[in-house]
């Protein structure tokens, strides 16, 4: 079984978001980048399934410029066998999906996994685009993934419940908790990751279909109105008469 | 050319988020000088579909194929793509739900359309551009995104636009056959398991949410959260540490890597307000924070706050809601 795990390089979850003065770009200064937390579920689950089967390979794929390599190495340290970096800034979901579809096709991967969405762009789009480009099923968002030979059984979250879906390989799944407990690299993993193959390839396909014109921060809150704990019932009156939400 | 709106139905009712999408679609159609047609997915009922006229929909297409009751990604994609071709729809609008995102992303490739998800406002069309505002950085920012090309797909975030109700107006419901075959249902679910609602409200669709954190001290104290939620008609939620230790199920976890909610009212009880939690709730219209620590960072993001012990405060709030009658 050949697994392709797509990871994106995102600002750490504790990052305070700011933009360049013209609001055209995210301000990367002093920001720590990490593997997108949703993608960690995809990566760990692929490694677990490979280990359980006792055979197979896990390839990690990132669309990004050279500054994403520390996080690609981290994915190798966690347990992926090799890596591919498409050397291009990820312009939009469509552009990224094109790169993934091209590599998936060329490498004849059986299972293509990624996180539900990236925590910076929050598109929740790439999985479906890749599935459609390759003409294979997509299961999104998946909370559970088990494999038996070429047959995968997944739990897909729907609003208010879940569906059990069975698909044959090849397929795409976008992952979220509680799929697995994401692993962190151990010392042996970190040592071996240095010598695992990381191939850099150029981008392919058509240009992006969407462009960011401008970023904005949410409006600031007016400040909190405190109510005395002894008189807590007063809050309910304010919510009805002032905020008018109940 | 027209605007095509995808409305999700469950148990015969149109979902609230889809009523918002229908209103949004009708407004976009008015901006472009055309009409809005809806295509129903899920278990739909013709009488309720006709009522989409109240949101400004002129016509509703309904395929009576019984296997469309449950979400099937391929079948839904083909159904909507066929409707889009028939109606020559240049703009397709869906809810930014698990179904909407799964179908919208496939449709964008099939119909060669540009796609924006998580959209929070009506589009702006000045200067020959088509720009939508969408949430980014997990609720910590917004971005204005220009959509290129002849065809566009927009997935609208829940509770970011209001559903209009123009009482008495009806839409024409017409049968529609997308000629779906068995192959289109190859990825149909083998089983659908709905959460036990037990008279409660589902979190993703809720207007009011009462949420608990580690300050609740243990799952045995959740009746305090549930009592207030029940009195308000609210859904219950929790922070990540609470679902991590299994005090509450994963589907209640609100935050950056859980569910993002945007209700009218979010009441946080014993949650300190880590930045990852705020990311999941900060598009709520009104935020109330109850915490015994006056330094809890959540107070900075709150509209109303009570510095006090949740075990004292929650019963008082529940009693006050009941007293409203």
Residues 6 or more apart whose Cβ sits within 8 Å of residue A159:
B15, B97, B98, B99, B202, B204, B205
* Domain contains A28: yes
Look up the pTM and report it.
0.93
Domain, as residue range, for A53 = 2-218
Q: Where are the domains of chain B?
A: 2-185, 203-324
Residues of chain A with Cβ-Cβ distance to B106 below 8 Å are 128-129, 131-132, 138
- The reported pLDDT for the residue numbered A177 is 87
Mark yes or no for CB contact A221/B312 under 8 Å.
no
Please name the residues between 106 and 165 in chain B that touch chain A, using a CB distance below 8 Å: 106, 108-110, 113-118, 129, 131, 133-149
**A226–B contact, CB cutoff 8 A:** yes
Domain B203-324 bears CATH identifier 3.40.50.1220: yes
CB–CB of B193 and A94 under 8 A?
no
Q: Which residue has the higher pLDDT, B251 or A7?
A: A7
Quick one: fold of B2-185?
A: Rossmann fold (3.40.50)
What pLDDT sits at residue B257?
82
> How many structural domains are present in chain A?
1
Find the angle CA(B139)-CA(A37)-CA(B203) to the nearest 5 degrees: 50
* pLDDT of B34 strictly over 80: yes
Cβ-contact B12, B153 below 8 angstroms: no
Cβ–Cβ contact A18 with B under 8 A: no
Task: Give how far B35 is from chain A: nearest CA, Å.
Answer: 25
**Whether the predicted pLDDT of B198 surpasses 70:** no
Would an 8 Å CB–CB cutoff place B217 in contact with chain A? no
Task: Report CB contact under 8 Å: A217, B141.
Answer: yes
Q: How many angstroms separate the CA atoms of A80 and A144, rounded? A: 20
pLDDT at A219 over 90: no
CATH number at residue A119: 3.40.50.620
Q: Mean pLDDT over residues A188-205, rounded?
A: 97
Looking at CA atoms only, how far is residue B278 from chain A in angstroms? 11
Half-sphere exposure in the Cβ direction for B36 (13 Å, CA): 28
Distance of residue B60 Cα from the nearest chain A Cα, in angstroms: 23
| Residue A33 token pair | 């980048």
Any CB–CB contact under 8 A between A121 and chain B? Answer: yes
**pLDDT tens figures, B218-267:** 999 999 999 999 999 999 999 999 999 999 988 899 998 888 899 999 99
Q: What is the ipTM of this complex?
A: 0.94
Residue-wise pLDDT tens digits, B40-68: 999 999 999 999 999 999 999 999 899 99
Reported confidence tier of residue B203, pLDDT bands at 50, 70, 90 = confident
Return the C-alpha torsion angle B243, B248, B252, B258, nearest 10.
10
Q: Which residues of B touch A213 (CB under 8 A)?
A: 129, 131, 143-146
Would you place residue A153 in the very low, low, confident or very high pLDDT band (cuts 50, 70, 90)? Answer: very high
**Model confidence pLDDT, tens digit, residues A35-60:** 999 999 999 999 999 999 999 999 99
Is pLDDT above 70 for B197? no
Closest CA of chain B from A77, distance in Å: 23
pLDDT at B200: 67
Given a cut of 70, is residue B199 above it in pLDDT? no
Same fold: B2-185 with B203-324: yes
Q: Which strand (E) or helix (H) includes residue B9?
A: strand B2-14
For the segment A69-85, the average pLDDT, to the nearest whole number, is 98
Quick: pLDDT tens for B124-172.
Answer: 998 889 999 999 998 889 999 999 999 999 999 998 898 999 999 999 9
Question: SS3 for B264?
Answer: coil
Instruction: Supply the pLDDT for residue A213.
Output: 92
Scanning B42-61 for CB atoms below 8 A from A yields none
Q: Among all residues of chain B, which has the CA nearest to that of A222?
A: B303
| Positions of E strands within chain A | 2-6, 9-11, 33-35, 57-63, 82-86, 111-115, 138-148, 151-158, 161-168, 171-175, 198-201, 210-216, 225-226
| Cis amide linkage into residue A27, ω under 30° from 0 | no
Residue A181: the pLDDT is 94
Is A181 among the domain residues?
A: yes
- Chain A nearest CA to B137, separation (Å): 4
Given a cut of 90, whether residue A236 has pLDDT beyond it is yes
Q: Say whether pLDDT at A237 is over 80.
A: yes
Contact predicate A177/A42, CB 8 Å: no
What would the two tokens of residue B216 be?
A: 């609740």
């Amino acid at each position: 079984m050949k697994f392709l795990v797509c990871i994106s390089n995102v600002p750490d979850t504790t990052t305070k978001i700011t933009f360049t003065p013209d609001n055209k770009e995210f301000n990367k200064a002093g920001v720590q980048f990490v593997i997108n937390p949703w993608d960690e579920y995809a990566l760990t689950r692929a490694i677990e399934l490979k280990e359980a089967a006792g055979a197979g390979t896990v390839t990690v794929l990132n669309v990004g410029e050279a500054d994403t390599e520390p996080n690609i190495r981290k994915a190798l340290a966690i347990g992926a066998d090799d890596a591919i970096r498409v050397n291009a800034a990820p312009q939009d979901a469509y552009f990224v999906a094109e790169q993934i579809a091209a590599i998936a096709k060329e490498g004849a991967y059986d299972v293509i996994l990624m996180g539900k969405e990236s925590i910076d762009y929050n598109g929740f789009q790439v999985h479906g685009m890749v599935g459609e480009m390759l003409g294979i099923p997509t299961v999104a968002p998946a909370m559970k993934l088990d494999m038996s030979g070429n047959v995968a059984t997944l739990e897909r979250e729907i609003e208010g419940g879940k569906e059990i879906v069975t698909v044959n390989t090849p397929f795409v799944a976008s992952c979220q908790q509680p799929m697995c407990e994401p692993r962190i690299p151990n010392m042996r993993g970190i040592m071996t990751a240095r010598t695992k193959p990381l191939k850099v390839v150029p981008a392919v396909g058509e240009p992006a279909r969407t462009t960011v014109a401008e970023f904005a921060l949410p409006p600031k809150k007016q400040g909190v109105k405190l109510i005395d704990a002894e008189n807590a019932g007063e809050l309910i009156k304010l919510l009805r008469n002032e905020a008018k939400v109940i | 050319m027209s605007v095509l709106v995808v409305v999700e139905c469950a148990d015969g009712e149109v979902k609230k988020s889809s009523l918002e999408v229908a209103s949004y679609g009708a407004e976009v159609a008015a901006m472009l000088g055309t009409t809005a047609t809806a295509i129903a997915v899920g278990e739909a009922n013709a009488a309720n579909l006709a009522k989409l006229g109240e949101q400004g929909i002129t016509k509703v297409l309904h395929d009576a194929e019984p296997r469309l009751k449950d979400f099937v990604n391929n079948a839904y994609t083909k159904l909507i793509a066929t409707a889009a071709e028939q109606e020559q729809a240049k703009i397709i609008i869906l809810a930014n739900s698990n179904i909407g995102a799964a179908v919208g992303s496939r449709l964008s490739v099939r119909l060669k359309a540009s796609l924006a998800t998580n959209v929070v406002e009506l589009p702006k069309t000045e200067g020959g551009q088509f720009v939508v505002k969408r949430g980014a950085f997990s609720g910590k920012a917004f971005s204005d995104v220009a959509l290129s090309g002849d065809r566009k797909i927009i997935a609208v975030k829940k509770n970011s636009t209001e559903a209009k109700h123009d009482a008495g107006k009806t839409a024409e419901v017409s049968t529609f056959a997308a000629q779906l075959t068995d192959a289109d249902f190859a990825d149909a679910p083998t089983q659908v398991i709905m959460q036990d609602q037990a008279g409660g409200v589902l979190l993703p669709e809720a207007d009011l949410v009462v949420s608990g954190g580690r300050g609740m001290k243990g799952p045995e104290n959740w009746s305090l959260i549930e009592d207030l939620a029940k009195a308000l008609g609210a859904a219950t939620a929790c922070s990540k540490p609470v679902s991590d230790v299994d005090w509450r199920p994963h589907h209640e976890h609100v935050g950056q890597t859980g569910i993002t909610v945007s209700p009218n009212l979010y009441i946080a009880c014993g949650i300190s307000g880590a930045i990852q939690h705020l990311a999941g709730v900060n598009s709520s219209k009104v935020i109330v924070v109850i915490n015994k620590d006056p330094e809890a960072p959540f107070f900075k993001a709150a509209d109303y706050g009570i510095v006090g012990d949740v075990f004292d405060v929650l019963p008082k709030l529940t009693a006050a809601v009941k007293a409203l009658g």
